[in-house]
Amino acid sequence: MGSLLASAAAAGDGTMQPPFGPAPPPLDGPELPSFRFPLGSLPTNTFNGGTAKQATVVEFPVSEKLAGVYMTLEPGALRELHWHANAAEWAYVIEGRCRVTTIDPQNQCEIVDFGPGDVWYFPRGHGHSIQGIGPGTCVFVLVFDNGYFSEFGTFSISDWLGHTPPEVLAKTFDLPQATFADFPKKEVYIATGPVPPPIAQEPAPGSLNAPPLTHRYQLLAQSPDVFAGGTMRTVSQAEFPISSTMTGALLIIKPGALRELHWHPNAAEWQLYLRGSARMAVFGSHGRARTDEFVAGDVGYVPQGYGHYIENTGSDDMEVVLVLNNATYESVSITAWMAANPDLLLATNFGVPEATFAKFPKNAVIMPD
Ligand code: MN
Ligand code: MN
């Protein structure tokens, strides 16, 4: 435990990427830890042109497999060119519009605009930038498939060039050293500048050497799965081929309804509650169950394979975006599991009369009202 805390503390100063650690000690005890992290109510890191705040394993120790950053960019503000050495990046745009540029190892680039309800995915190590294009503030959540990731410890182009001798830059670009005299000497992180003009259509930038797979998926434009208690939109690799390590979903649960008891065999689940209020209970085996109450702005986390349900506790629709660290969506629901077994077996299992199960659902319910 001491070494985990030490590496977590080292990560917090933004100077190094910590290694993957052991399973978080909070899951080893007789009681489960809280699976809620109040990201929305924490102070924001303010930059010229934007804000960011994060929930990594440093802040939220149980979230070992996934981390998130809530970010805003004003029109023209640029989250500078950078890459992430140890995580892929998945994002959901909550408000406003932004433009993304990407490069892959084949030197193929895509430049594309995003609006509310759009998702992006950047494979681990691929270069990218994000710029607010207005009108208004662009708000989005970034999710990374590594809880030890730190958004403040990524690889930024200004940081790199600022720590490269001018004579090397001169050789690299075949230009005089003086060209780089006014370049920043440390990481810019967010830069401010003019709102760029609309993307040219003929030819669109990068379109002559475009990657085969687009980085954008318009999740909110997808027609959702509709249940008695709400709707679910899911974006796995099946819907969004470039998303090779993560699956996302947008759940809207009606007042009083719930996402029924279920578990994900192949993934941990990271959540950002967008509106309304909710209760999530997590079952962690060996008599351990933990219930937490969530409001908009809260982050939730479910370890891989742990049972859980989410209930809308408010009088309005509850909306949550969730991300799983696997490209294939796998979920087993309690109703489907029980329906798949004979009533006699269930009677024996629970020690109650077989007739008890006559009226149980015969299929998965997913989201009862
Ligand atoms: Mn990034
Ligand atoms: Mn789930």
List the domains of the chain with CATH numbers: 2-217 (2.60.120.10), 222-357 (2.60.120.10)
* pTM given for the model: 0.91
Q: Among the options 80, 89, 187, 319, which is catalytic?
A: 89
Quote the pLDDT of residue 107.
92
Q: How many angstroms is it from 243 CA to the middle of ligand 2?
A: 19
Q: How many angstroms is it from 129 CA to the middle of ligand 1?
A: 7
Backbone dihedral region for residue 322 (phi beyond 0: left; psi -120 to 50: alpha; all else: beta)? beta
Contact 158, 187 (CB under 8 A): yes
- What are residue 275's DSSP bridge partners? 319
d(CA 220, CA 274): 14
Residue 128 known to be catalytic: yes
Quote the pLDDT of residue 206.
66
Residue 151 known to be catalytic: yes
Quote the pLDDT of residue 149.
84
Quote the pLDDT of residue 28.
85
Residue 259 known to be catalytic: no
Q: Which pair of tokens denotes residue 73?
A: 């960019």
Contacts of 98 (CB under 8 A, 6+ apart): 73, 113, 114, 130, 131, 132, 133, 138, 140
- Residue 263 CA: which ligand is closest? 2
Residue 80 known to be catalytic: no
Quote the pLDDT of residue 6.
38
Quote the pLDDT of residue 215.
96
d(CA 310, CA 253): 9
d(CA 333, CA 11): 37
pLDDT along the chain (369 residues), means of 10: 37 46 74 97 94 94 95 98 96 98 94 97 97 98 92 86 98 98 96 95 72 94 98 98 98 98 98 98 96 98 98 98 98 98 98 98 95
Quote the pLDDT of residue 23.
57
Residue carrying structure tokens 């109040």: 38
Quote the pLDDT of residue 2.
35
